[in-house]
Structure 1
């Protein structure tokens, strides 16, 4: 695909971006001159667009998978796929990851994509079963390679690299250069592009001191101090702690989303969707949410449990102060807790006024049992809900259409009425079922 200045301008317009940043420009220049490029870039720096734009000019007008992007988590795979779709390229893209029906993925290969995005485990599975031919792959990207190593995907990545004989260009993306490059990458000679921090995120680190044994009460007090439209992600080190926080908040009628290991893929998507679209102001999560997922800018990052590693602390904080430019990171501590040594200073104490308010989220998320595979799109769903005289455009929020179902954010004041009105209704002559998303 020839990427002219006109093409690039159209792509940026589709993404709502006015111009490339310096790191993206440097990546484009480096990949024109070097076959192996290491891109050192943190979350939120625009790395995905950098390597996608670098890859596109090298793709040919022929059938078969030509570009493979490996990412360590299903959430990052979906995020990369989302960026590719927003770019509106005349190319087919497939996404493969655990938790997605293998039969659907295999069927999607009946017409091979030009770009394939997937987790190492699922791509290895496809290669072993021969569901696609790798012999035309010339472009290879390892996104968040440091995270892939950390999660133990070395064996899968070594197998995949061993199956790709025609690769000409490789891009390795990492948040740190403090990694040993495995031999199977054949990456000894490479050029490094490092994302310069043009403007340091304005993150204020504070500590919220609670009486011993009353962390949950302290968290509740912080949540009740939120105004409409504000949001917070609460990080815990273990899934059991996430569940304990969730049970406490549920007892106090706080609407929240939960994102941790052990959830099925549909559950993960539903929980993230509710947080993205404003159906929940609070997201409780383990560190799988510290990078590689698509969530909105945050007002607060709360460390309910402080991570032992400084890198994890930094990644958590990186979820705030992105587009909004400012954010607050809160260490939730009891009077007997110690600050982590890596912090190096004593943060200012966060003082909260007594507040009994419990602001309800603006939206509720409805689940519709029809999606892309049923030829249903966003326009269909907008038209369906606006046919009811009590609904206005302002009552509809974010709409996400998946393969076999869809999510629609509806004004919390009207969602019950919308569910009732949708009974026995059809979209494109297909009977549908509308329920509150779990």
Structure 2
């Protein structure tokens, strides 16, 4: 079956062919015809399965038949994912002079307001920044949002969590009501919150909500080409062991993402590894947007071999060359582990995941193994003697220097000041923390 058979416009089929995308994937084959027929849609498929084209192709097809005003709004949880989606829209619609506006934090809000006033065809946004415009930028800026034909929630499971609740609500209030627009939700994890939307009553004359999960996502969560390993170590020597892993003969030239749970950890590791002369970049919420974009470009281009990242990089980002994923910190949620390791072993390629496990992480590892229905293998290429002999002293000295540099530069002061000013607790991954239950 071809894209033309699915009902995609001829000009768009030609654009897809030019990008060497000839055959629709399972999620695309299932969702595109239904969206073209007017159904709201919930699409669940693993990362790398072509979800962006599954919603972009039908939306662009309909847009080209009647290109009026702001046609569609795509909401996504991270700035990097918004930029990536915008790049895909721009590439697909290049022959039609498509105008795409990216509305994310960290960029000039006045410049964004002027862009919105010019009524771009598609707006790709993070909920927080779009909500800022709705609150502060005036009717000239946001008026075009009142008539959009499509609303897309990408990584819908994250967007529907408590973290984005108030911003989403503000965005929904200005968009047309659900019976006057099509709503498309796409995610790698179809949660109960997402699935529940299928059962909401639809407006009279509107088709039922269509839901499609590729092989029930859980069954394909971990690629068969992914080797899953762990190393068990004391927590106070993690940096030295990380250095040893990254400089093993089998990984010394491998592109790697190192996932951490906190921005402070990401910055310490970036500076420490750089002092050890490793080519490293980082991606976390305390970096200015220009630096975040630059880090991704450097990593994609191979100028940096290692990317230190919080979970802003665990979902959706298409970095096809990653060979190694290291969970330096173990995530609390097993699904976050699945999203992280999904950065490697994509599209049939081989990849390796290594989890750095300390005495505090055992329960989390057991939970992850139960979730993925697989036991991790022990990494035996790094042992205590090797670390003590080759890595411990140099890494400890580099870490001391990194911490002194951060102290001199008052790293984290801006976040602390914002916390005090806003009177709310913020996590290290750029999202409000959920209040602990008493």
TM bin (shorter chain)? 0.7 to 0.9
User: Which whole-Å deviations, capped at 9, do the CAs of 1:323-377 have from their partners, x for residues lacking one?
Assistant: 35221110113578626222145422223276989xxxxxxxxxxxxxxxxxxxx
SS for the counterpart of 1:180 is helix
Aligned pair partner of 2:41 in 37, 52, 67: 37
Relative distance call for 1:137 and 1:185 in structure 2 (3 A) is farther
| Alignment-derived partner of residue 423 in structure 2 | none
State whether residues 215 and 333 of structure 1, in contact with CA within 8 Å, keep that contact through their aligned partners in structure 2.
Answer: no
In structure 2, the CA distance between the partners of 1:263 and 1:106, relative to structure 1 (3 Å rule), is same
**Secondary structure in 1 matching 2:236:** coil
TM-score by length of 2: 0.73
For residue 213 of structure 1, give the secondary structure of its aligned residue in structure 2.
helix
Counterparts of 2:125 and 2:200, CA distance in 1: 21
Residue pairs, 1:137-216, within 5 angstroms: 137-150=148-161, 152-165=163-176, 167-180=180-193, 187-189=200-202, 190-196=209-215, 201=223, 202-210=225-233, 213-216=236-239
Equivalences for 1:147-296 in 2 at 5 Å?
A: 147-150=158-161, 152-165=163-176, 167-180=180-193, 187-189=200-202, 190-196=209-215, 201=223, 202-210=225-233, 213-225=236-248, 226=250, 229-296=253-320
Matched, 1:350 2:379: yes
Indicate the structure with greater helix content. Answer: 2
Q: Structure 1 250/352 Cα, relative in aligned 2: closer, same or farther at 3 Å?
A: same
TM-score, normalization: structure 1? 0.73
Equivalent residues of 2:258, 2:306 under 8 A apart: yes
Q: Of the candidates 132, 147, 165, which is equivalent to residue 136 of structure 1?
A: 147
3-state SS, counterpart of residue 172 of structure 1: strand
Where does residue 389 of structure 1 map in the other structure?
none
User: Which of the residues 91, 95, 98 maps onto 1:86?
Assistant: 91
Q: What's the RMSD between the two structures over aligned residues? A: 2.9
- The answer to whether the Cα contact below 8 Å between 1:71 and 1:120 also exists between their aligned partners in 2 is yes
Matches within 5 A, 1:15-26: 15-26=19-30
Per the TM alignment, residue 35 of structure 1 is displaced from its structure 2 partner at its CA by: 2.5
Q: Give me the whole-angstrom Cα distance separating, in 1, the residues matched to 2:162 and 2:357.
A: 29
Whose strand fraction is larger, Structure 1's or Structure 2's?
A: 1
Q: Is the 8 A contact 1:214 1:334 kept in 2?
A: no
Q: How many residues were matched structurally?
A: 356
Stretches of structure 2 lacking an aligned partner (at least 5 in a row)? 203-208, 392-438
Distance 1:174 1:227, change over 3 A: closer
The 3-state SS of whatever aligns with 1:80 is helix
1: CA distance, partners of 2:288 / 2:198 = 32
CA distance in 2, matches of 1:138, 1:275: 36
Shift of 1:248: 2.7
